[in-house]
Structure formats: structure tokens, C-alpha cells
Structure 1
């Protein structure tokens, strides 16, 4: 039986998603050469790895300071395997109270998603990677391709059963050659979620979608016919011009957390949505006035900067109530 002492300390809990920008192991040069951000570099070493872990741990310390507690669920993307997440969770801020769910994907850069969880609050019931392989004839592109898995984790959380999906959809590179792949993954995922929507089991989808909240693929993802199966609180965040990542001069909100309609019903169940935000703090912003308001990243192209990530984390705050 899980302890509820953590949840009783506050009237809310938080969920965070964080694209941590190529969290490679220090001895991963073969995989690293396939990464645009590290191309041609052989200077990623133990010291830089430990510095990045220290900085990422500090981000969660800052989240804890602002929101009075650490998140109970943390989705990650751009991690190279399970070990970097375990190394991060070994930092003192996490108090030895977190574990991680991860599966190796077929991504050519070795980049995976993972889900960390507070072991005294969350019970993992079942987990599975949803694998996507695009054959030679997909959209007539003439070559086979693999991408990051979607991670599915079924959990018990404060009297509720919740299906958590962690995604990192194919990028917008090369004139958005991957848009059809993103659409394919989202359509398959929507079918899975629709099958769950008639039950009392909740759904939470978090990740780097490589789409803004108001883009067609994302708005279509929320609906199955006339039925609204998901709610995206980051639509309003995007309208308010709050961004999690930048491309040249353009602000983007690719990082989002979506919830099933159950989370909007305060009179039903023990968890309900309170707010959504991009977590920005002056300590994790770029110190260069030319890039004011942007994340302080680890790399700029092939140039090592020593920062945190090229993305800000995003979070949702959920109200909680006890159910007899």
C-alpha cells in the first residue's frame, strides 16, 4: 500500500515534462556522432556530463521552491538510456524517492523517452513501449526509418488509475519531411486513447510533439469525431506567448501536457487540473542579453556552452482531494 503522506502535505501535486537536450552518457561517442548538436565533437566527457546532471537537478530544486514540492511524475525526452536518468535521480534533491520506467528504442541517435515517478505516491501497474517503424514505402520516401518509441505506463495515483503516455515525435527538419510520421503516430495514439475514454481510467499525454498547441495535428488529436477526448491546457499558454523552445527568432511551444476530460471535473475523482505553465526561472535563462528569455542550452550547434537544455520544462498543477 502506498503512503499518502506526500500528497497530504499540499492540496495539489505537479507533473513535469522536460526535453533535456541530448543527455548522453560520457562514453557514447559512436551514438553522439549521429547527433547534429554534437557532430564532430569528441569532447563530451565525464566532467561535462556531471555538470549537466548537476544543473538539471538544480532545475528541480527551483521547481520545488516555487511549487512547494517536487513533481510526482517527470517525463523526459532526449535521454540516452536509463542510466542518465538514474544518475540524475541520485542527486540529493530527489531524496532517493524516485524510480524510472524506460525502454531502449530503435532511434538512430540513441535518444529515448522515460518516466520518473515518486515511489511513495505512484504505483506502476504495467508499462510498454509503443514502437513505430516506417517502411520503405511510407509516404513514398524510398527508405525505412525508425523513431523514438512512445512510452505507455499504467499507474495507480491517489485512488485513480491513469494511463500515461510519454512522446517525442519526429522533428521538423528538412522542410518538415516528418509531418506525415507525426500524424501517423498521433492518429494511432488517438485510437488507443479513444478506447479508454469510456472508462473511469484517466489519460495523461506528455512530450515534445514538434507541433505547437494550435497546429492542425494537435487540435485534431484532441477530437474523435464530435467527441472531445483530450484537453490541452497549453493552448492558452501559447496564446499568451509563453514558449518552451526557440528556433532562430521564433518562439515555439512544442512541449505540452494533455489530459483526458476526467481531469476537468472537480466533483468527480481525486485529481483535477488547476493550471499549466512553462517553467522559466532566471537561473536557467540564457545570460546573453541577445538571447534574453531563452533557455540556457548545453550546446549551440557544435559549440559547448555548459547550460541546462535548449528547452524549458513544462508542468501542470493538479488539485487533489481524499476519497474515502
Structure 2
């Protein structure tokens, strides 16, 4: 067998190594800005690490024990999931309905599709500042509108539930249009023959929507639910800018987990160790939700359902 020349060996090596070289920048960037900070945060969480004093002695899981003993942690956890539920459920429903209407024969389709994405382009801080004025307790537009109908004013900042509703409204304003475009892309991937068959069978428009469109959007709905959950667990800008103090309210009625991390690390305690511990607890919650998403998606795929993206 004739031995390969140097050029032939170099050519074969190029074919084998080129794909890995092409994808290596992503993994290098992920290691620098993703994996390394994650591992370093775990290391910090095991130390008595002070903002000013720096690294102290290793104390094991004492930071985690201290966090679980603090009432504000459970308050922040409850607030985070409450805001998530109040934002994600109506957000997904509204996004599906908006996508459905955008998928119809509208005039100036591009204009309307770009229009629903505009709130997502607006800076979160700007949105929070505008809505904090709308939901002001004394001179807000929301209470002024309620007064026009003879209703009593709502303490948007005093009542925890209504504070969560106001913050969830900010989140919905920014993300509904973004998710609507995701659902629109999924709807356009549904074969038109399916709709034609439903029309031939005598199905009305609403029946087609609930019996054809929604079932075939199941994988996309699961994807949007999980991404909305992850985003909801990391919410920071909206509650932070909801009042002038930015501390989550006088009674921490809208304190979220990310705000609690900021409070531990840069607030009165200045404990990077405890802040890192809460960060890893939050990461564990996200991993659990991601695992639930994986098993649900795999079950749907194994059932042979239609509409997989």
C-alpha cells in the first residue's frame, strides 16, 4: 500500500479537525462567561467571603444553612413564583391569540408583526419607570382610571398581590409580542392540508383552532413555558425599578430571588458567600424545571404526536 504524502495527510487532518475548529469559539466563550463563573460561584458559596474583606476561611455548607434560616429567602422565593404565575399564564394565552390573528389574512402583515415586537426592544429600565408611574398609589393612571368608574384606589405598592400584578403587567408588556412571534413561526409550520381537511369535515373556525392549532403547538407551548419560567425566576429589573428605593418594598412584598442575591452581596450583609449560595439554589431550581421539560418533551415525542418543531 502506497504511503500518503505530507499534503494528503494534511488534507485528511484538515477534514477531521475543521468541524471542531469551527465550533470551538462557542465552547471557549461558554467556558469563559458561563461554565467558569458557575464553578467559581460554587467555590465562593463554600467560603466566608466578604465584599470588603475578601476571601475568608472555608465553612462548607454553612452559607446554605444560614440562607435557609432567613425568612427573606422564603419570602423572595414565594414572590418570584407568584410573579411568574401571574405573568406567564396570561402572557402565553395572549401570545397564542395574537399569533393566531397574525397568521390570518391581515393587511400590512409585516407592520403588525414588527409592531408586536416593539415592546421587547424597549429597555427594561424604561418600561419599569413608565409602569411605576402608571401604578403609583396616589397619582397613578391606573387608580385614576378606576376612579372614573367609581372604584376604590388600589394600593399597588402596599398590597403584595397587587404589587405582583403590576410587576407581572410590565413583564407581559415586554415579552408577549416576542412569544407571539415564536408561536406564529410554529403555526406557519403546520401543514395547510390539515386545515383544509378540517374545513372539508365541516369544522368551524374556533373548532379548528382548539382541535388542530393548539394540539399541534404543544412542543412550542412547552418550550415557551419553560423559557418563561427560567426568565421569571431571574426577574430583576422590573421589581427593582418598581419604587424609588429598589429594595423590594417596605415589607419585602415584591422582593425576588435575584434581588435577594443583590441584597446579600451588596447590601448590609455584604456576604458574597451567601449570595453565591442563593445563586446556586436558584440554579438548582432551574435545572429541576429543565429536567421536567426534558421528560415532558420526550413523552410527547414518544407518543407520536404531531406538531414537533
Bin the TM-score by the shorter chain.
Answer: under 0.3
- Structure number with greater CO (CA < 8 Å, separation at least 6) is 2
Could you say which structure has the larger radius of gyration? 2
Using the size of structure 1 for normalisation, the TM-score is 0.23
